[in-house]
Every structure is written in C-alpha cells, then in structure tokens.
Amino acid sequence: MSRSGASDLETMNATPPVEINTEDWRSFFLGYSDIVLVANSDEVDIDELASRFPETTLFIFFNKVYKVLSKPFTRNALLVSRSGALGANLVKSGKVSKVLQYFDKSSFLGIINLTIGDSEKFSPASAFGDVKVRHLDLTDVFAPFYPTASLPTTGFALCFWLANLQLGVTVTLAGFSSKRSERYQVLDVHDWTFEQVVLRLMYRRGKIDIIGRERTNSYAELSAHFPEYSPAEIAFTANEVLAERLVNLSSFVDKLMHVTRFLRFVERTYKRLKPKTRKERRWEAMEQK
C-alpha cells in the first residue's frame, strides 16, 4: 500500500519532539480498517492470523519478532522497539539487523522507538540503519494512573494509546494472555494483573478486540440467572474463593522454595563467577562517574 504516512516517517528528525502530535499520528494511521497488535507469544499462528484480516490491515510487532515470525512478513507492518536506560533494546543488544530480516521491504513501514518514564532513552534514527524511524514518548499518558512501582508493557501501552486516539479503526490484540510459556517468560517489572483488568474493561466496552477472549463475564451473568444473589454477594464469594486458592498456592510455593534451595545456591554461585556482560560493565562505569 502506497501511503503518505511512509514519506512522513522519512521526514521525522532523529531528535523527537517533546509533545505528542496527536493529529500527526492520526494522519499516519489514516486509511487502515484494522490495526492488529501481535504479541511475542506461543499462542500466535501468524499465517492463520494474517488470513483473518483484509489487505487494509496494519500489523504491529514488538522487539524480537523472530519469536513469532519464521520468514519475511509481506503484509503492511510496523515494528515497535522499546527503550531502556541505554537506548532502544534492539540497538543495545545488536539485534536490529537480525529482526529486520523478517520484514518485506516493500510493505514494511518502519520502526517506532517507544519510551515510558524518565529512565528510558531514545536511540537516534541512524542507530536503526536505513529504515524509517519515529519516536514516541508515552510517559505523560501513563503517569496519572499506572501503578508507580511498575512499568507498562510495550503492547499494553501501545494498545491503550491507539484506542484513545479515536482513529475509527478496530484495534485487535493477538497473543496478549500474560501467561508464561515454556519458551518465553513474563517479566515482573510489569503489573500484569492491572493491565489485564484494563484491557478486559476496554474489550467489554467495545473499545478493542481480543482474539480468543469471551466478551461476556460469567460472574456478572450469575446475578441475572440467580436473582436471589446480589452482585455484591457474588463478588464477595468470588473473592473468598480466590483468596483460598492463593493461600493454597503460597503453601506449594513455600515447598518448592525449600526443594530448590540447592539449585538456587548453585545459580547464585555461578552468577558471582560469571564474567560481567557489556551492559553490566557500562552500568558500573556510569555509576562511577
């Protein structure tokens, strides 16, 4: 698809503006009927997913796309690269060229370098090679309400922002389960419970679509089927059952911690003896300044 948004990307400066230009972003996404956010999850079958949506769909991928792509993706696509304290994660890990191999140049619209919070820093456009780059800072979007002890995940942040741009398109999530798989871990720096609550509320109000998720809430339907029980009674009872399950889970975790004491000792010893990574050496150098 030939679009004015592509040339708009080319003219962006390496140093991003302080303010989010909402109209600029709206014009960039203009012309698409659907925007699909693809998580790096075992649940994603990319061929089946692509077959569900028309040619007017924009697919957005995140960071290490080789977790879901095994060959160049030929549909309209964007890549979002999250930043850390040392710049974009793909840049500092040296994986930019590896990741870009999974996109067809004729349909690839470029990279969005995303930051959230004062500690995350942009990488210059030149650090990504000869691809089009935009910068997006969503710090002010999440500062008023996201739990302060955690950071928003990249997918959640982009979904929430897109849904509130009022683009008039369907924003769909694929693979956003927050479940740990055998291959990919769920990082503790994010508040997964909070994000799932927000996403499901948005989904049930029709602001977004989530593949594989039921739009109805079974607990909310109980009061309709059993009018003798008030919504408050159902909520209190559900919380009671959940609390009991968490207590039981905690007891199993305690047993697991006891059984794995030796393994954790070996791991700690290995980490002390292992040579420091380039990232760790750079952090130490920064702290000594």
State the total domains in the chain.
2
Is 202 in the same domain as 245? no
Whether 270 maps to a domain, the answer reads: yes
Is 191 in the same domain as 258? no
Whether 51 maps to a domain, the answer reads: yes
Is 184 in the same domain as 231? no
In tens, the pLDDT along 127-147 reads 999 999 999 999 999 999 999
Q: Is residue 227 scored above 80 in pLDDT?
A: yes
- The two structure tokens encoding residue 30: 């203009």
Q: What is the pLDDT confidence band of residue 225, given thresholds at 50, 70 and 90?
A: confident
Whether 216 maps to a domain, the answer reads: no
Query: Which of these three, 210, 241, 260, is where a domain ends?
Result: 210
* Cβ neighbours of residue 252 closer than 8 Å, sequence gap 6 or more: none
Residue with the bigger pLDDT between 281 and 269: it is 269
Is 154 in the same domain as 239? no
- The two structure tokens encoding residue 220: 């909310």
Rounded to two decimals, what is the model's pTM?
0.76
The rounded distance, in Å, linking the Cα atoms of 9 and 12 is 6
Is 128 in the same domain as 267? no
User: What is the domain range of residue 256?
Assistant: 221-288
Average pLDDT, the chain: 85
Give me the percent of the chain exceeding a pLDDT of 70.
Answer: 85
Kindly report the three-state secondary structure assignment for every residue of 135-178.
EEECHHHHCCCCCCCCCCCHHHHHHHHHHCCCCCCEEEEECCCC
Residue with the bigger pLDDT between 245 and 65: it is 65
Is 84 in the same domain as 46? yes
| DSSP 8-state assignment for residue 17 | P
Using a CB cutoff of 8 Å and minimum separation of 24, what contacts does 176-184 make? Answer: 176/37, 176/39, 176/41, 176/210, 177/39, 177/41, 177/43, 177/212, 181/41, 181/42, 182/42, 183/42, 183/67, 184/40, 184/41, 184/42, 184/67
Is 127 in the same domain as 154? yes
Is 104 in the same domain as 180? yes
Query: Which of these three, 210, 238, 256, is where a domain ends?
Result: 210
Query: Which of these three, 177, 210, 243, is where a domain ends?
Result: 210
Q: What is the pLDDT confidence band of residue 3, given thresholds at 50, 70 and 90?
A: very low
